[in-house]
């Protein structure tokens, strides 16, 4: 048979065109190049949560664990690659394609393993490494420096972060959540609106006209976060998020009918590591009672903290709590390892008249229910740790990223770059998407609340509130 049998030019042309168009069709839908490759080691709670979150943001995620079962459950749900292997094995790490990784996160329960994994990962070419630690000593600058030289760039200590968060929320009476920007020059406060609030049933439009130094950016209503329109009303039971400068903090309390009282007596249920970190953060100015059921641990806390009264007993026992004068407490913090106990005991404390309660809820599925149960602030160390790590995926412009508890919304502190889109015109003319709100800016040592005629200058720190749908769009404005 003759090779290359006769075919008309038209015929050849059409078939070549066909194959080319197939290829082109594939190419047109080629992926964005700005995606990061993130390798996460440890499919525990923090690792899993991070993997889900980053995968939804469209990053390339590789998750590694030595337990195939844990990974198998995830593969059907989340768009990621799983690798079974050991965090400290060169060969297994190579399997994850670590040489191309932009970010390496080691969050197994073991500190030594995480640090070792980061050292190996750096050696194999990971650009940035993050290790989860359980030892506060490493956070000292001197130790950090040493670890950095070994290849561990960032450290994350979830219990310490949670302790910090609890301590600041105990001090902040009246607010559900308080986030400080640039050392407290600008604050974001989430406040629950009750029947006695003067702004109840007012339109957001009115609010904006009367109070120019405040900005209500979002409300949490029936377990979902919405960005309000001018015509929306403030309703009973809403959690409203306000941006304000420090000077106007008290004005917010007036508007929401919150009574400010000094906190002196604090009861902490559970002597977990979070509790200990919280006590460290609170310092010596409070009367603290800790209730812990484990004898040895009670002893340990008593040894460590001189000014703390440790009660060895079951915190679920109402008589014991009454004996310890729970009704006299200004604040009640429940941080036992058991989310159900924490939720129920905070509920009980509220019933007994304690105004300030904080519950540690580790089970993310409970967060929504707990939020609607009237038990004050919720703390979840996974979410805190995850949003802390999250900022590393957003590039250098982000100075801070915080996740709002009980909602997916995030607050970012961006540094506006020279020539970026956001510095081109006033906020009104920018016409930002509706799921993004700019709360305020920090210029030099002064903080300002954002208004329609605000013009952002290069070098300003810009505090942005964004729903999850908008996080991707943000980068466009700051690049």
Partner 1 sequence: MFNVRLILKILGFLLIIEGFSMLVAMAVAFLYHGPDGMTLLQTASVCMVTGGIAVSLTRKAGKTISKNDGFLIVSLVWIIFSFFGSLPFLIDGSIPTITDAFFETMSGFTTTGASILNDIEALPHGLLFWRSMTQWLGGMGIIVLSLAVLPVFGIGGMQLFAAEVPGPVTDKLNPKISQTAKNLWAIYILFTAMETILLWAGGMDLFDAVNHSFTTMATGGYSTKQASVAYWDSPYIHYVITLFMFIAGANFTLTYSALTGKFERVYKDEEFKYYVLFAAVFTVVIFGGLLTTTELQAEHALRDALFQVVSVMTTTGYATTDYMVWTPILTYVLFALFFFGGCAGSTGGGIKIMRIVVLLKNSYYELRRILHSSAVIPVRLNRRAVSDQIITNVLAFFMIYLLIFFISSIALTIVEPDLESAMGAVATSLGNIGPGLGDFGPAFNFYELHPAGKWLLAFLMLLGRLELFTVLVLFAPAFWKK
Residues engaged in binding partner 1 (CB under 8 A): 1-5, 7, 10-12, 14-15, 18-19, 22-23, 25-26, 29-31, 37, 56, 58, 60-62, 68-69, 75-81, 84
Cβ 93 to partner 1 shortest distance, Å = 15
Q: Which is nearer to partner 1, 15 or 261 (CB)?
A: 15
Q: Which is nearer to partner 1, 85 or 433 (CB)?
A: 85
Q: Which is nearer to partner 1, 16 or 369 (CB)?
A: 16
Q: Which is nearer to partner 1, 14 or 426 (CB)?
A: 14
Cβ 10 to partner 1 shortest distance, Å = 7
Query: Which residues partner with 63 through β-bridges?
Result: 40, 82
Q: Which is nearer to partner 1, 2 or 351 (CB)?
A: 2
Q: Which is nearer to partner 1, 83 or 455 (CB)?
A: 83
Q: Which is nearer to partner 1, 5 or 149 (CB)?
A: 5
Q: Which is nearer to partner 1, 24 or 318 (CB)?
A: 24
Cβ 125 to partner 1 shortest distance, Å = 17
Q: State the pairing for strand pair 398-403/446-449.
A: unpaired
Cβ 435 to partner 1 shortest distance, Å = 16
Cβ 13 to partner 1 shortest distance, Å = 9
Cβ 186 to partner 1 shortest distance, Å = 34
Cβ 393 to partner 1 shortest distance, Å = 14
Cβ 41 to partner 1 shortest distance, Å = 14
């Amino acid at each position: 048979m003759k090779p290359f049998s006769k075919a008309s030019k038209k015929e050849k042309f059409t078939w070549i065109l066909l194959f080319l168009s197939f290829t082109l069709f594939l190419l047109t839908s080629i992926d964005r190049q700005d995606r990061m490759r993130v390798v996460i080691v440890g499919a525990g709670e923090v690792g899993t949560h991070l993997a889900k979150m980053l995968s939804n943001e469209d990053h390339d995620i590789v998750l590694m664990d030595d337990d195939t079962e844990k990974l198998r459950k995830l593969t059907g749900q989340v768009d990621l690659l799983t690798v079974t292997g050991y965090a400290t094995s060169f060969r297994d790490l190579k399997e994850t394609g670590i040489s191309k990784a932009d970010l390496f996160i080691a969050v197994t329960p073991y500190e030594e393993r995480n640090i070792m994994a980061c050292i190996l990962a750096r050696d194999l070419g990971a650009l940035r490494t993050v290790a989860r630690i359980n030892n506060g000593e490493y956070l000292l600058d001197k130790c950090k420096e040493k670890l950095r030289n070994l290849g561990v760039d960032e450290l994350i200590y979830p219990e310490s972060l949670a302790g910090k968060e609890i301590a600041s929320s105990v001090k902040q009476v009246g607010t559900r959540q308080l986030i400080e920007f640039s050392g407290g020059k600008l604050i974001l406060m989430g406040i629950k609106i009750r029947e006695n609030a003067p702004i109840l049933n007012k339109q957001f439009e009115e609010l904006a006209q009367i109070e120019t130094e405040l900005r209500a950016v979002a409300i949490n209503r029936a377990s979902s976060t919405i960005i309000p329109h001018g015509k929306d009303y403030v309703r009973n039971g809403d959690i409203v998020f306000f941006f304000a400068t420090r000077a106007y903090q008290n004005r917010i309390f007036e508007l929401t009918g919150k009574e400010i009282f000094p906190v002196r007596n604090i009861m902490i249920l559970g002597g977990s590591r979070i509790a200990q970190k919280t006590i460290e953060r609170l310092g010596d100015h409070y009367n603290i009672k800790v209730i812990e059921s484990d004898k040895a641990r009670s002893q340990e806390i008593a040894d460590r903290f001189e000014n703390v009264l440790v009660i060895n007993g079951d915190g679920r026992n109402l008589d014991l709590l009454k004996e310890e004068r729970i009704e006299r407490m200004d604040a009640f913090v429940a941080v036992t390892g058991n989310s159900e106990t924490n939720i129920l005991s905070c509920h009980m404390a509220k019933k007994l008249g304690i105004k300030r309660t904080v519950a540690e809820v580790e089970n993310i599925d409970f967060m929504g229910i707990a939020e609607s149960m009237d038990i004050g602030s919720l703390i979840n160390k996974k979410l805190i740790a995850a949003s802390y790590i999250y900022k590393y995926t957003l590039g250098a412009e982000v100075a801070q990223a915080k996740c709002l508890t009980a909602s997916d919304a995030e607050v970012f502190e961006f540094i506006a770059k020279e020539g970026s889109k956001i510095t081109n015109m006033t906020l009104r003319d920018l016409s930002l998407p509706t799921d993004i709100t700019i709360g305020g800016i920090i210029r030099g040592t002064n903080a300002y609340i954002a208004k329609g005629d605000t013009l952002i200058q290069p070098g300003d720190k810009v505090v942005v509130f964004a729903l999850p749908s908008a996080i991707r769009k943000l980068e466009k404005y700051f690049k």
